[in-house]
Amino acid sequence: MVEVSIGMPIHNANKYLRNCLDSIQRQSFRDFEVIMVDDGSTDNSFEICQEYVAKDSRFKLIHQDNSGVSKARNTCLAYMSGEFITWIDSDDWVDEDYLELLVNTQENTHADIVHMGFKSYRDNNIYVADFKTLYGQYDYNMPKKVAISDIFLRKYGTITVWGDLTNSRLYKGFKFSEDNTFEDAGNKFKLYLQANKIALSDQARYIYRIHNESLTQNIMRDTEELQRIMLTVNNYEKLLYYLTLADFEFDYFKSLYIDWLDNEIDRSNNEKIRNYLVRHRQLINLR
């Protein structure tokens, strides 16, 4: 068993893939495996991955027909053997001490999840938030209530599946919802609900690349506004369902959901969207 399994869904990422894989090969921490799942790429991403498999036994490659990123993540999970799991998206990259810092923080804190700050890269510029202030206010140990609340607040960057190190036992029985386009927001909270301790590192070593070809940007550009609202509502209501099962802070998150619904109703000029939101606003009052 290796200490860290790195999961990487890949689809038509040839423009950025070598940069990502090279950054993993340069890691100062060496006890890892990389599970690459090519999700039906039509460019030469699969061939690029084969090169790394041929020269480094820690890299493993699986091909599947194009089924979406959630299915690719589930395929990654099926092949992982590490004590801990981290995700690196194929168009992003990491600094050479990324894994070392995550592992050291976990060893020092014994946390189930270690979440790290990140840098954003866009148009040849790198941007870094003030994670010392954001994370320092919790003495680098974040209550799960706060971590989960980021599905609404989008303040701490804790709802992404990339950028953290998670004990693999939290993934036992876990499955990414394969009908969910926004797989981070629709699934990450399930890991937090199981965690006993969430540690934070303000040492931003993950570089999130923002570009027009990214899956997230394509979804936001190509998906109709009503469909995006419906996907978001589905994620929020799924969260409330899991909170009920876990008997955890339901009223607090219900209030966040109501606030979000009210804000969306107020700002929308689309009658179909307003009617859809109003209906869900009425339903949440019954719970």
| 43-99 confidence digits (pLDDT tens) | 999 999 999 999 999 999 999 999 999 999 999 999 999 999 999 999 999 999 999
Fold of the 4-216 domain: Spore Coat Polysaccharide Biosynthesis Protein SpsA; Chain A (3.90.550)
Cα dist. 252→28, 152, 157, 255, 259 in Å?
42, 12, 20, 5, 11
Q: What's the whole-number mean pLDDT along residues 159-186?
A: 90
Cα 59 to Cα 51: distance, rounded to the nearest angstrom: 10
Q: What percent of the chain has pLDDT over 70?
A: 95
Q: What percent of the chain has pLDDT over 90?
A: 89
Residue type, 74: N
Supply the mean pLDDT for the chain.
94
Cα 185 to Cα 87: distance, rounded to the nearest angstrom: 15
Question: What pTM was computed for the model?
Answer: 0.93
Instruction: List, by residue range, all CATH 3.90.550.10 domains of the chain.
Output: 4-216
User: pLDDT confidence of 182, banded at 50, 70, 90?
Assistant: confident
pLDDT of residue 218: 46
pLDDT of residue 240: 97
User: pLDDT confidence of 285, banded at 50, 70, 90?
Assistant: confident
Q: What's the whole-number mean pLDDT along residues 185-191?
A: 93
Q: Is the pLDDT of residue 219 over 80?
A: no
Phi then psi for residue 41, to 5 deg, are -60, 145
User: pLDDT confidence of 214, banded at 50, 70, 90?
Assistant: low
